[in-house]
Structure 1
Amino acid sequence: MFDAVEGRILTFGGQELYDGSFGTRNAYIITIKEPHKKVKVDVAGLNGSKSENNPGGMFYQRVFHTSVVLPDGSVFIAGGEIWGQPFNEADRDIQLTPEIYYPDRDIFVPLQRNNVVRVYHSLSILLPDATVLNGGGGLCGNCTVNHYDAQIFRPPYLYNKNGTEAIQPKTPVSSKVTVGKTLRIFADADIKNSSLVRLGTVSHTVNTDQRRVPLKHTCEDEEDGYRYCTAQIYPDPGVVLPGHYMLFVMNSAGVPSKAATIKVELDFPLSYFTEEEEEVEDKKDCDMDGKQVQGMVDMIFAAARKFWNPQQPTLVTQGQ
């Protein structure tokens, strides 16, 4: 879901059967904004017009691929294969060229070719510095397709037009907000856009927590290199699910900052009652404060070396 406010979901690839069939390059935008109305489905990747020579969709057929919603609303797609078979790494089937979907232009753009196969059981997840961790694959005992390595993909928005690395805006300062209330942000003076991206969880190429919430913010005058900005959070907990998000701000060149982790809360404590109206569970009994969650997030992102060192991993940077 690259735009939760508008209810826009990008879906692409896959195969007719779970395994043993060809992957597809088909792609669609599913819009679910209006309650109690039919879901709207449109072909994605038309780049302005549909024709016999331009049916839309990705550049490449894919199944068992991974994807990541980026802070600016674009979607990164990596790995996969043409013939859908778990642990299949036949040269004729693997897809090594990633691509990015840009919803504002409705176009898929192929990127620099990768050098490591990423298919069944691989993962991609957005990191707080606006890069993407792409790694793993395999997990079939002692077979040859177990990948104990990972790569860092740096999206094009982290580069200037001349190929040099862009300077990222300062990390915004914020901590928590209530659904429907005002989010207060201290950010760089040159801020054009901002968004919340929910912390992701990946398994079997599925990341059910992927959700980007674009924000509309206003800023006051600059003070000590920062501006005081506010953004109204969409007043629907079905759109802005409670939980922890990464807050990104982007400058006029589209370069995102490193993220601040913020907590989105509901406006009232949640309680569940039996027929006798006895309280069964209170939100506070299972809640975590901001420091606990930040510590957990830091541990997860720092743990890769501890977990992977016994398997002699490789971590490289993949350019645009």
Structure 2
Amino acid sequence: MAYRPSKRMKKTLFGGGAVVVLAGLNAPAALSFATDQYHAYKISQPGYMRKYGAWHDAEIPKEYRTNAIHAALLHTGKVLIIAGSGNKQDHFDAGTFDTVLWNPKDNTFKKIHTPEDFFCGGHAQLPDGKLLVAGGTARYEVLDGQVKRAGGGMRVKNEDPNKTVTLKKGTKFRSPAGVEYVSKFDVTVPRAKREFEVSYYASGQMKPWKTKTTAAEARVFVEAVAEGPRSVATDRAQYEVEGLTGKDADNVYGLAEKITLDKQDYQGIRAAYEFDPKAEKYVPVTPMKEARWYPTLTTLKDGRVLAVSGLDDVGVILAGNNEIYDPKTKKWSPGPFRYFPTYPSLFLTKGGKLFYSGANSGYGPANKGREPGLWDVEKNTFTKIGGLNAADQLETASSLLLPPAQDQRFMLLGGGGIGESKKATPRTAVVDLNQDNPVFKSGPELPQGTRYLNSVLMPDDSVFTTGGSSDYRGRGGSNIFRAQFYDPKANAFREAADPTIGRNYHSEALLLPDGRVATFGSDSLFSDKNNTKLGKFEQRMEIYTPPYLYRDKNKRPALGDGPESVAAGGRATYRTDHPERVVKARLMRPSAVTHTTDVEQRSIELGLTKDKGAVTVTVPEDRALVPPGWYMVFVTDQEGTPSEAKWLRVD
């Protein structure tokens, strides 16, 4: 039966002289007003919310509003919202970098000192509950036609085996023809390597010692001092370093790479920090060897973190130079060499291999590194996985490990064409890695072609999806004001309440410990359908309350006291007044999300036993299924209503 407003509501909508007069003068405006009022009334009704859920704005004081580029849930229950320079060139130029810590329990906020521009870096949860943040922005892009001074990479050589050389930002390099270039960053070149050679005469006597010196090298981005084409350089001549004299001038010099007036892409940084949730501050650790902008950080089964892809310190996509962070030593070591486009979605699987869904955020050639597959990081072999339709539309797609994680079923949702393509697909697909020869199988379609879709694992084993746009960065007013749940068992979508705020590029969504979903950000290219007005970054936050939280609160499962840590394969017991209500238990890893990429979230089925006044959960032993770290423990009843989460560290 169609919904009918009450007589009182009809009077509110259509009664009164003011509305009648308005209708006479401007019928479309009156109808729009009445429709909006009716919709607002409809979605606020208890019956509607029990079926579809509801959205509410979070009040953010003006001084804490920021451009949410990254969001991560910490084991304190607070959410770290990282903007860095927030895609604002003026903020970057001023060195104004932003991080806000939000407490969902009381809706309070705190500014965090941000030492680097983490804009478009990567992040991963560490075993001790800290958040690794690595990479970010060293320089903003300069578009075609706007490059006035030639720029490119300068390889700085050091032939002195006795000392390391540091050249400060602003150091000048001079070509044999007298053309000058200035470095845009500090650069440190290690000492040269000295090797001793020993050989013998035929008689067995030792020949005199010989030494061989191999120059050390580092790279820095340089820009011509003078404007115009005269500064373009393609030769490999030796460039002298201004200010050096004597042996230093002989030992330290530059070799230019390609220096052009072409478009200059964003450039990455090497910086790495751990954010400490208890001290609520960034703590520096050893920088990466490679600079990275748009990297993915993926947790491995032993708690180490693999950093993959990104644009380097001169704005070129890395050829495959990956590296691994060890949280015990706070240092990086070389990882397996393999190429991926930027922000590749790489997930840890039960066997310890990494599954690449094919989803990415764009930079890189169209014909390289875009096919999904399974990557054995120990052997460095890659097995492609086929069966995917709309395979040319994987940029800005969403992907995740479906619950429970033991099933090893991965889902891909939506996506678009490469770069600023207008293509967008409603395609979803699922691959089961437990099969001998896994291939993608098409799933139910989204309501329309969707880029930048946010997808969140829920405690009841559903997947909540929201937002996105049907064109590049919401172009043409293409934001999608829709949300839905995917049911993995039924392989079908069901409707959810519609969000009121559009979300596309630079937006995030994550599960909160109380079972709600918070959404942040959005960076539309334009603010109107005709693409005539530049867009503004969306700083409002909207929170979705699922239908399960509108059921009888008195019957909601609740967990009491329990342990704070457990070993893999161990048990944790929680007090509860009504163990009979509990039918399932899930261990859920907190999100760390950016650019539609969240490779952290996973929902693991726990063993469950019930006693009088308590429930006991058992954590699986497989480290590749449950990498060390902090998790949320949810229990649910027969209807799928979850408890509030308890935090548990798996050692």
TM-score, normalised to structure 1, is 0.69
2:429 maps to 1:28: yes
2:405 alignment partner in structure 1: 4
> Offset at 1:100?
0.7
Measured in 2, the distance between the counterparts of 1:192 and 1:14 equals 36
Measured in 2, the distance between the counterparts of 1:59 and 1:167 equals 34
Measured in 2, the distance between the counterparts of 1:102 and 1:172 equals 29
1:63 alignment partner in structure 2: 451
1:42 alignment partner in structure 2: 441
CA contact (8 A) 2:548 2:641 kept: yes
> Offset at 1:76?
0.6
CA contact (8 A) 1:217 1:229 kept: yes
Alignment equivalent of 2:589, drawn from 182, 185, 198: 198
2:485 maps to 1:100: yes
2:638 maps to 1:261: no
Counterpart residue identity of residue 67, structure 1: S
Measured in 1, the distance between the counterparts of 2:561 and 2:639 equals 21
2:637 maps to 1:251: yes
> Offset at 1:167?
5.1
Change (3 A) 1:250 1:21: same
Counterpart residue identity of residue 508, structure 2: L
Counterparts in 2 of 1:142-181, with a 5 A limit?
143-160=534-551, 168-174=556-562, 175-181=564-570
Secondary structure of 1:248's counterpart equals: strand
2:637 maps to 1:239: no
> Offset at 1:165?
6.3
Measured in 2, the distance between the counterparts of 1:144 and 1:194 equals 43
Which region of structure 1 is more displaced relative to structure 2, 23-32 or 194-203? 23-32
RMSD: 2.3
Gaps of 5+ in 1: 45-55, 222-226, 266-320
> Offset at 1:228?
2.1
Change (3 A) 1:176 1:17: same
CA contact (8 A) 1:176 1:264 kept: yes
CA contact (8 A) 2:517 2:544 kept: yes
Secondary structure of 1:15's counterpart equals: coil
Measured in 2, the distance between the counterparts of 1:166 and 1:119 equals 38
Alignment equivalent of 2:605, drawn from 214, 217, 235: 214
1:14 alignment partner in structure 2: 415
Counterparts in 2 of 1:283-302, with a 5 A limit?
none
Secondary structure of 1:5's counterpart equals: helix
Change (3 A) 1:240 1:125: same
> Offset at 1:185?
2.8
Measured in 2, the distance between the counterparts of 1:136 and 1:120 equals 8
2:467 maps to 1:79: yes
CA contact (8 A) 1:10 1:27 kept: yes
2:523 alignment partner in structure 1: 138
1:270-290 Cα shifts (integer Å, max 9, x gaps) = xxxxxxxxxxxxxxxxxxxxx
1:202-235 Cα shifts (integer Å, max 9, x gaps) = 11111110100022301012xxxxx322222222
1:179-200 Cα shifts (integer Å, max 9, x gaps) = 1222323334211111011011
Change (3 A) 1:74 1:166: farther
Measured in 2, the distance between the counterparts of 1:96 and 1:81 equals 9
CA contact (8 A) 1:59 1:110 kept: no
CA contact (8 A) 1:98 1:111 kept: yes
Q: What percent identity do the matched residue pairs reach?
A: 25
CA contact (8 A) 2:510 2:518 kept: yes
> Offset at 1:154?
0.9
Measured in 2, the distance between the counterparts of 1:60 and 1:169 equals 37
Measured in 2, the distance between the counterparts of 1:231 and 1:150 equals 34
2:499 maps to 1:111: no
Measured in 2, the distance between the counterparts of 1:107 and 1:99 equals 10
Measured in 2, the distance between the counterparts of 1:80 and 1:239 equals 30
CA contact (8 A) 2:462 2:485 kept: yes
Counterpart residue identity of residue 42, structure 1: K
Counterpart residue identity of residue 567, structure 2: T
Q: Which has the higher contact order (CA 8 A, sep 6+)?
A: 1
CA contact (8 A) 2:524 2:535 kept: no
1:184 alignment partner in structure 2: 573
Change (3 A) 1:25 1:172: farther
Counterpart residue identity of residue 65, structure 1: L
Structure whose alpha-carbon radius of gyration is higher: 2
Secondary structure of 1:22's counterpart equals: coil
Measured in 2, the distance between the counterparts of 1:79 and 1:259 equals 26
1:305 alignment partner in structure 2: none
Gaps of 5+ in 2: 1-400, 526-532
Measured in 2, the distance between the counterparts of 1:220 and 1:171 equals 13
Measured in 2, the distance between the counterparts of 1:180 and 1:42 equals 33
1:96-147 Cα shifts (integer Å, max 9, x gaps) = 011110112111112222211111101100000000001211288x953311
State how many pairs are aligned.
241
